[in-house]
Amino acid sequence: MKFLHIHDANFDAEFAAILARGEETGREVEQVVLDIIAAVRAQGDVALLDYTRRFDRLEAGSVAALEVTEDEFNEAFARVEEADMAALKLAVERVARFHEKQKQETWLSTDETDILLGQMVTPLERVGIYVPGGKASYPSSVIMNAVPAKVAGVGEVIMVAPTPGGEINPHVLVAARLSGVDRVFRLGGAQAVAALAYGTATVPRVDKVTGPGNIYVATAKKLVFGQVGIDMIAGPSEILVINDGSGTPAHIAADLLSQAEHDELASSILITTDRDFGERVAAEVERQLKELSRESIARKSWECYGAVIVAGTLDEAIVFSNRIAPEHLELAVADPFAILPKIRNAGAIFLGHFTPEAAGDYLAGPNHTLPTGGTARFFSPLSVDDFVKKSSIVYFSQGGLNRLGKDIVRIAELEGLEAHGKSVSIRLW
């Protein structure tokens, strides 16, 4: 962990090491993934079965046999405890309610009497959701991807998840069913992304692939971008807490650790105007670390990419925050709404002393799929917008074309596109 003052001469250099933690994809990974995509395009199901056997140690006679059956869903529902079921249902319900508010309507403007202009919003027909398997299994990830798709009106949601040895987590299956996922295949890795992007005899081609995954999955998504839509490219997770000396150090320490436990590459940063508060948070982190089941991951993250930064003023802290554009931003200050309008770049903003980031991770309502690594400068949280597309609507009456025709022809001609102009003039003159 670095303890820095924002006015330190070497502050920028010290901090650069934290910012630079994201790995760039090597060309070797890219070549492996290109080969996998080519094989899936050429051989379809045969390639899928082959890769699934090799990478997931899962033998199947057909890709159809890798689809989760109704019986397996029923079994999963039977295995999940009542209180967990209630929590998952609450999450689905709250996430759906929030995302409902993001829906946009088709509109048509009647500002002019001779021309109608508008924008039509239609849902994607079919999307694919990638859910990581193996060690960590996250039903919340299923909910955060599937619910916005369903709220958007997507016709069919296909989920893929690698299942080493065939095992699939019952909470993940329950979350899938509660969220409205239509079909689930035991497929993972770059091959699953390729199957969704291009389709095989068994796996239908989708219009967009979303969801987190390892470097092979992320690379595959980047490489199929254009053939299908993808959500943002996610890097390691991060939190920035802005503090003014108010609040409880142990609470902030817990929030920093909730980020640090994700991943050794995660980054947890406190920027405070109160050096003493910062020191107490640092001490609390040390104390709480020892109590964590995921201590070694959290400790490594905190040691390598954790920081406590002292700022001269709250405005300095805000300028810093806008510069790094954090994925998660806590405004752990006495009057968080007073500084909200100064925040320009952040994935999600958690206001006040009773809004730990973890609330947003599961069931506050907003999406937990957020832009990382400074990309909140231009990316948005996953939303209903990701599962619809728009079409412009243009209607000219003869009078409307007559009114604007000469100007259209004028621009066509100065661009040297004569046939463009003729398509207008032939209707009028």
- Does residue 43 interact with its own copies by CB under 8 A? no
Among 254, 265, 304, 319, binds its own copies (CB under 8 A): 254
Pick the catalytic residue from 238, 261, 327, 357: 327
Nearest distance, CB of residue 121 and its own copies, angstroms: 9
Instruction: Judge whether 330 counts as a catalytic residue.
Output: no
The site map against its own copies for 345-384 (x = CB under 8 A) is xxxxxxxxxxxxxxxxxxxxxxx--xx---xxxxxxx-x-
Secondary structure of the chain in HEC code, one letter for each residue? CEEEECCCCCHHHHHHHHHCCCCCCCHHHHHHHHHHHHHHHHHCHHHHHHHHHHHHCCCCCCCHHHECCHHHHHHHHHHCCHHHHHHHHHHHHHHHHHHHCCCCCCEEECCCCCEEEEEEEEECCEEEEECCCCCCCCHHHHHHHHHHHHHHCCCEEEEECCCHHHCCCHHHHHHHHHHCCCEEECCCHHHHHHHHHHCCCCCCCCCEEECCCCHHHHHHHHHHECCEEECCCCCCCEEEEEECCCCCHHHHHHHHHHHHCCCCCCEEEEEECCHHHHHHHHHHHHHHHCCCCCHHHHHHHHHHHCEEEECCCHHHHHHHHHHHCCCEEEEECCCHHHHHHHCCCCCEEEECCCCCHHHHHHCCCCCCCCCCCCHHHCCCCCCHHHHEEEEEEEEECHHHHHHHHHHHHHHHHHCCCHHHHHHHHCCCC
Q: Which of 124, 151, 197, 324 binds its own copies (CB under 8 A)?
A: 124
Beta carbon nearer to its own copies, 54 or 378? 378
Q: Among 50-58, 144-152, 271-279, 343-351, which window interacts with its own copies (CB under 8 A)?
A: 343-351
Total residues at interface with its own copies (CB under 8 A): 121
Q: For residues 258-287, which are near its own copies according to CB under 8 A?
A: 258, 260-262
**Residue 328 designated active-site:** yes
Query: Which of residues 159 and 228 has its CB atom nearest to its own copies in the complex?
Result: 228
CB of 193 to its own copies, least distance (A): 15
20 makes contact with its own copies (CB under 8 A) = no
**Residue in 328, 330, 357, 368 annotated catalytic:** 328
Task: State which of positions 293-322 bind its own copies (CB under 8 A).
Answer: 293-294, 298
257 binds its own copies (CB under 8 A): yes
Shortest Å distance, C-beta 339 to its own copies: 12
Amino acid at 47: A
User: If binding is defined by CB under 8 A, does position 424 make contact with its own copies?
Assistant: yes
By the rule CB under 8 A, 110 interacts with its own copies: no
**Is the distance from CB of 254 to CB of 289 less than 8 angstroms?**
no
The answer to whether 208 contacts its own copies (rule: CB under 8 A) is: yes
* Minimum CB distance to its own copies smaller for 52 or for 372: 372
215 binds its own copies, rule: CB under 8 A: no
Contact region with its own copies (CB under 8 A), list: 43-51, 52-60, 304-312, 411-419: 411-419
Least spacing, CB of residue 273 vs its own copies, in Å? 21
Task: Please state the residue numbers annotated as binding site for NAD(+).
Answer: 130, 191, 214
* Closest distance of CB 317 from its own copies, Å: 17
Q: Which amino acid would we find at residue 202? A: T
Q: Return the active site residues.
A: 327-328
